[in-house]
């Protein structure tokens, strides 16, 4: 599916859709839904920069040590050579944003932003082009390409670690410009970038027969003085005779062997800045089952959290960074994915608080279920849960009320969560050309002690 398309299910799929929405709404009857007050909502002023012909297709945000939020987003339209990456920033209560400025026009599919002690960094696909600017300035420097010549990048994540920028990416060992969909050898690579020094590359894992459509992540998190990375991959394997009911099993043709995903979720970490990375360790058994579709990793001062979607929102936690709890179910499966860059289910954390946000369709479903010409992707919202009490635990996430972040349903195309200074902030993008100009909303969640 093109990144500018929102597909409409066939008539035969509507009964399942309606049932899934009702199931999602009733999956935890004890959870209430909180609406944010209007005073908690802000918007990045994109109207002067982006027209109603622009699609806003990707977004990312980072908050620096001074509390300034840096936001980047990608737009495209039906005009030739119209791809742009835009940048804006705001301090305080996010009511005064800088004038949006275009900083890249390389037809990138994805943009990620991170802050180090003195700089703001932007990394854009597909070759991982690196741009940087001193904090407090608007002068962006082209630092070159991070990916090596024989690497075809599938996905990546970025994080600032003191003065160092770390980029971890999943790449196919192929000179082709487009990653293949069939199983091929891939590798997980960490690129450690210090200003004025050559990039240090560390190959963390070699992965055989990886299917591009079964990957999730990688995702990075800093915990104490350690840096952790989580990644989800998968291979297609032959299902044993008589065991064809495993999730996502299929036959390519009548009489052909049944095939199903064999997903893998694994982690690696380094203990000190510049130190060696550990060998990958699996967090789940490599068994037949639903593939891992969305993935996030965050850390508080006490523990690490991995949140992912498989047969629903699932999560595990670790108090020592080495051993992980059994998965806990946080919610029902995502029923609609509008972001193609991993911005459908996200998480963020502060020193003692965690938030999980996702794109959801539970509201306004009655507007389009009876009408087969309607498009569910145009009636989505951003919902969130956050830890209650201290310390933050999975148990507190399970009982958290749900916050409806968006003031009304609309064509949400991506969501980001960021935390700092004791608060959580959710950034989302939406817009539907040619009738609606792109919007970027920023919401500050209510502190859990005031509920």
Give the CA diameter of the chain: 64
Taking alpha carbons only, the member of 3, 25, 17, 1 closest to residue 375 is: 17
405: how many CB neighbours lie within 10 A of its CB? Answer: 29
Strand 41-44 vs strand 412-420: parallel, antiparallel, or unpaired? unpaired
Does residue 202 contact residue 234 with C-beta atoms inside 8 Å? no
pLDDT value of residue 413: 87
**Structure token digits, residue 393:** 């635990």
Separation of alpha carbons 165 and 116, rounded Å: 7
- pLDDT category of residue 435 using cuts at 50, 70 and 90: low
**pLDDT winner (highest mean) among 52-61, 261-270, 362-371:** 261-270
- pLDDT category of residue 28 using cuts at 50, 70 and 90: very low
DSSP 337-368: ---SSS-SEEEEEETTEEEEEEEE--TTGGGT
- pLDDT category of residue 447 using cuts at 50, 70 and 90: low
pLDDT value of residue 171: 93
pLDDT surpassing 90 at residue 210: no
pLDDT surpassing 70 at residue 280: yes
pLDDT value of residue 371: 40
Strand 141-145 vs strand 101-104: parallel, antiparallel, or unpaired? unpaired
Q: For residue 93, what are the contacts with CB-CB under 8 A and spacing of at least 6?
A: 42, 444
pLDDT surpassing 90 at residue 115: yes
Separation of alpha carbons 358 and 346, rounded Å: 6
**Structure token digits, residue 341:** 């860059």
Name residue, tokens 């908050």. Answer: 63
Q: Residue 450: helix, strand or coil by DSSP?
A: helix
Q: What is the mean pLDDT of residues 392-419?
A: 92
**Structure token digits, residue 263:** 């997903």
Q: Among 48-52, 149-153, 278-282, which is the least confidently predicted range?
A: 48-52
180: how many CB neighbours lie within 10 A of its CB? Answer: 15
Q: Residue 39: helix, strand or coil by DSSP?
A: helix
**pLDDT winner (highest mean) among 22-26, 177-181, 186-190:** 186-190
Separation of alpha carbons 262 and 365, rounded Å: 33
Give the pTM.
0.86
Strand 200-210 vs strand 216-223: parallel, antiparallel, or unpaired? unpaired
Taking alpha carbons only, the member of 108, 59, 85 closest to residue 429 is: 59
pLDDT surpassing 90 at residue 128: yes
pLDDT value of residue 246: 81
Structural element, H or E, at residue 379: none
44: how many CB neighbours lie within 10 A of its CB? Answer: 26
Helices and strands per DSSP (H, E), number in the chain: 2, 30
Name the average pLDDT for the chain: 82
Instruction: Count the alpha carbons within 13 Å of 46 in the hemisphere toward its beta carbon.
Output: 32
Structural element, H or E, at residue 333: none
Q: For residue 305, what are the contacts with CB-CB under 8 A and spacing of at least 6?
A: 297, 298, 299, 315, 316, 317, 347, 349, 354, 394
pLDDT value of residue 375: 54
DSSP 393-424: -HHHHHTPPEEE-SSS-B-EEEEEEEEETTEE
């Amino acid at each position: 599916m093109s990144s500018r398309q929102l597909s409409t299910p066939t008539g035969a799929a509507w009964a399942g859709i309606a049932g899934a929405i009702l199931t999602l709404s009733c999956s935890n009857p004890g959870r209430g839904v909180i609406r944010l007050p209007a005073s908690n909502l802000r918007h990045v002023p994109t109207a002067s920069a982006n027209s109603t012909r622009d699609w806003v297709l990707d977004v990312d945000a980072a908050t620096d040590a001074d509390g300034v939020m840096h936001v980047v987003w990608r737009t495209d339209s039906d005009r030739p050579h119209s791809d742009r990456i835009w940048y804006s920033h705001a301090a305080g209560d996010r009511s005064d944003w800088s004038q949006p400025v275009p900083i890249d026009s390389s037809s990138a599919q994805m943009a990620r932003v991170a802050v180090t002690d003195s700089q703001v960094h932007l990394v854009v696909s597909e070759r991982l082009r690196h741009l940087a600017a001193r904090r407090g300035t608007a002068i962006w420097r082209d630092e070159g390409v991070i990916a090596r010549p024989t690497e075809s990048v599938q996905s990546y994540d970025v994080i600032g670690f003191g003065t160092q920028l770390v980029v971890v990416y999943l790449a196919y060992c192929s000179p082709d410009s487009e990653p293949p969909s069939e199983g091929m050898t891939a590798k997980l690579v960490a690129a450690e970038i210090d200003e004025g020094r050559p990039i240090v590359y560390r190959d963390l894992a070699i992965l055989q027969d990886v299917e591009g459509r079964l990957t999730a992540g990688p995702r990075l998190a800093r915990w104490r003085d350690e840096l952790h990375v989580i990644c989800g991959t998968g291979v297609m394997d032959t299902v044993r005779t008589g065991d064809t009911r495993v999730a996502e099993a299929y036959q390519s043709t009548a009489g052909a062997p049944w095939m199903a995903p064999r997903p893998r979720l694994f982690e690696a970490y380094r203990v000190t800045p510049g130190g060696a990375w550990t060998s990958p360790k699996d967090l789940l058994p490599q068994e037949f089952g639903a593939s891992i579709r969305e993935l996030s990793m965050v850390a508080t001062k006490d523990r690490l959290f991995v949140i992912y979607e498989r047969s629903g929102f699932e999560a595990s936690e670790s108090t020592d960074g080495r051993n992980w709890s059994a998965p806990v179910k946080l919610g029902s499966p995502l029923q609609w994915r509008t972001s193609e860059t991993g911005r459908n289910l996200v998480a963020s954390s502060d020193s003692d608080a965690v938030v999980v946000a996702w794109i959801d369709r539970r509201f306004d479903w009655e507007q389009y279920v009876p009408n087969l010409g309607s498009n569910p992707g145009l009636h989505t919202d951003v919902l969130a849960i956050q830890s209650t009490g201290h310390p933050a635990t999975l148990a507190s996430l399970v009982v958290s009320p749900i916050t409806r972040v968006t003031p009304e349903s609309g064509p949400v195309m991506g969501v980001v969560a960021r935390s700092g200074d004791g608060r959580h902030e959710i950034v989302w993008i939406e817009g539907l050309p040619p009738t609606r100009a792109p919007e970027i909303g920023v919401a500050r969640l209510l502190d859990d002690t005031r509920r």
